[in-house]
């Protein structure tokens, strides 16, 4: 009997007789590799060997190989370090990759040499500029001239604190101390002081500025303390009378505590206002004064009187090295244009051809000293052995009406001089007796009122040019304008 073979059987080379054997063999192989029919596995889709190989590949590819590459880079960098150390200072820090073209190599080397030369010259110029800046001030719009600083060896150079150092008088004192070569620390809260007054020293290595209110304690190491911090013009110190008292009392107390701790000499800038509306003229240091303790000016007058009392109490109880300067009316560049004082108001009004205002009949008198004379007096007192109060002022006495006319003439102003009601408790006369300063300090004013006024008028003309317009401050309490 003839058997017909199916197409499938012929294609696979199988026959019915060996089908059973093929199936058996297939099942045997399947069980051997852990795979069952239908593609399901009792141990998963991958064998143990496959998973192990896969894990090893991941470990090598993502962990071992990157670590090796990093180590190779570090090794190359370490090999390059000795070469960097041996390089000349003049070597170009940004070399250009050398071209593979031999005709371009010479040009590249020339370019690298030029860059290295320019870099070296720039570094040299930078060092020279830094050296120059450590020996002088920088000109600014407020201080448009250069001041040279002396070099002092360490055993002669002092660390000097100036409270209120960004104010009118304080900034000029800072100039003198910096030019002498000392290290100067300015502490100021900028209530009436202005940063532009000391901007020309901000770059200097001997100068430091600390924005701080003296009514709060401060810890510093200094040799001398010039305690000038306190609003000095009537409108400003009347604006916040309680704060004015705190500044005079608590501020002085904190500075005395600092001086005691570091054994520093301290100078208090007191005022002629402690004499009040005097019944004696000129006023000597022995005059006890005539002061209204509850008037609008008392916050300043009495605050300074208490400050003086504390100075001498610390001297008697703790042996503190103290100095007290009683400062009379002072004027000059860097006066606050809105401080409401006679000199600044008259000049600002005259330069703008506005009415020049006199409060009262104009017969009250004042004595005006130029700021450089005052600074010389403060410096002389600090570095002298005299410990009693000293008047610092110009005995030249003017009536307010005479002074207004003089400013009007110097400015060639078309302003009209007008008179308004008198201010409360405004002193009727003010003239210092400076015999003590002459005898003990060998000091007296050198700059005439005329010479000082010309410099001050020039300064305020520049301020007006920049500001456009300035509205003078009246006699009442007023917050300082920026």
Catalytic residues: 300
CB distance 207 to 265 below 8 Å: no
Beta bridge partners of 358: 419
Pairing of strands 365-367, 397-399: antiparallel
CB distance 355 to 418 below 8 Å: yes
Determine the Cα–Cα distance for residues 80 and 86; give it in Å rounded to an integer: 10
Determine the Cα–Cα distance for residues 133 and 139; give it in Å rounded to an integer: 11
What b-and-e string marks burial along 7-28, b requiring 16 or more CB atoms within 10 Å of the CB? eeeeeeeeeeeeeeeeeeeeee
Pairing of strands 322-327, 390-392: parallel
Sequential DSSP letters for 60-71: IIIIIHHHHHHH
Determine the Cα–Cα distance for residues 188 and 198; give it in Å rounded to an integer: 11
CB distance 346 to 470 below 8 Å: no
Structure letter (DSSP) for residue 464: H
Instruction: Give the residue from 262, 260, 231, 252 showing the smallest Cα distance to 309.
Output: 252
Tokens standing for residue 244: 């004015």
> Is 127 in a helix, a strand, or coil?
helix
Instruction: Give the residue from 307, 313, 429 showing the smallest Cα distance to 360.
Output: 429
Tokens standing for residue 366: 């004042």
Handedness of CA 385, 386, 388, 391 (dihedral sign): negative
Whether residue 3 is preceded by a cis peptide bond, meaning omega within 30 degrees of 0, is no
Tokens standing for residue 481: 């304008």
Tokens standing for residue 295: 């008037």
Query: In terms of residues, how long is the chain?
Result: 482
Residue 50: how many CA atoms within 13 Å on its side-chain side?
7
Determine the Cα–Cα distance for residues 449 and 194; give it in Å rounded to an integer: 25
């Amino acid at each position: 009997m003839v058997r017909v073979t199916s197409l499938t059987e012929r294609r696979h080379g199988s026959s019915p007789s060996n089908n059973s054997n093929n199936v058996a063999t297939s099942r045997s192989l399947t069980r051997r590799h852990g795979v069952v029919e239908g593609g399901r596995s009792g141990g998963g889709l991958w064998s143990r060997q496959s998973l192990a190989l896969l894990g090893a590949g991941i470990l090598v590819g993502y962990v071992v190989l990157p670590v090796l590459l990093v180590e190779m880079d570090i090794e190359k960098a370490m090999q390059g370090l000795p070469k960097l150390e041996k390089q000349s200072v003049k070597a170009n820090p940004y070399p250009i990759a050398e071209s593979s073209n031999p005709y371009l190599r010479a040009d590249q080397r020339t370019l690298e040499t030029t860059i290295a030369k320019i870099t070296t010259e720039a570094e040299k110029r930078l060092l020279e500029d830094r050296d120059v800046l450590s020996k002088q001030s920088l000109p600014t719009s407020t201080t448009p001239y250069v001041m040279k600083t002396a070099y002092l060896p360490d055993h002669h150079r002092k660390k000097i604190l100036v409270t209120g150092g960004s104010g009118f008088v304080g900034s000029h004192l800072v100039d003198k101390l910096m030019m002498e070569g000392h290290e100067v620390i300015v502490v100021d809260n900028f209530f009436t002081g202005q940063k532009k007054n000391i901007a020309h020293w901000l770059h200097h290595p001997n100068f430091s500025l600390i924005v701080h209110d003296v009514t709060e304690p401060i810890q510093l190491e200094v040799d001398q303390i010039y305690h000038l911090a306190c609003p000095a013009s009537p409108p400003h110190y009347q604006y916040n009378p309680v704060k004015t008292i705190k500044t005079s009392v608590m501020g002085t107390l904190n500075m005395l505590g600092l001086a005691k701790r570091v054994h520093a000499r301290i100078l208090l800038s007191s005022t002629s206002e402690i004499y009040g509306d005097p019944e004696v003229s000129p006023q000597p240091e022995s005059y006890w004064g005539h002061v209204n303790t509850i008037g609008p000016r008392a916050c300043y007058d009495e605050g300074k009187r208490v400050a003086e009392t504390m100075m001498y109490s610390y001297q008697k109880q703790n042996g503190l090295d103290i100095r007290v300067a009683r400062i009379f009316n002072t004027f000059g560049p860097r006066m606050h244009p809105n401080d409401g004082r006679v000199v600044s108001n008259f000049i600002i009004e005259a330069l703008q051809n506005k009415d020049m205002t006199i409060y009262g009949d104009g017969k009250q008198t004042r004595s005006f000293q130029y700021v450089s004379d005052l600074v010389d007096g403060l410096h002389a007192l600090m570095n002298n052995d005299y410990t009693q109060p000293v008047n610092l002022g110009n005995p030249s006495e003017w009536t307010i009406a005479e002074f207004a006319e003089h400013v009007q003439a110097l400015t060639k102003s078309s302003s009209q001089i007008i008179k308004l009601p008198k201010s409360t408790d405004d002193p009727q006369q003010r003239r210092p007796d400076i015999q003590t300063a002459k005898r003990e300090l060998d000091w007296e004013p050198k700059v005439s009122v005329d010479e000082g006024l010309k410099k001050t008028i020039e300064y305020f003309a520049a301020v007006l040019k920049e500001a456009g317009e300035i509205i003078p401050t009246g006699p009442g309490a007023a917050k300082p304008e920026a």
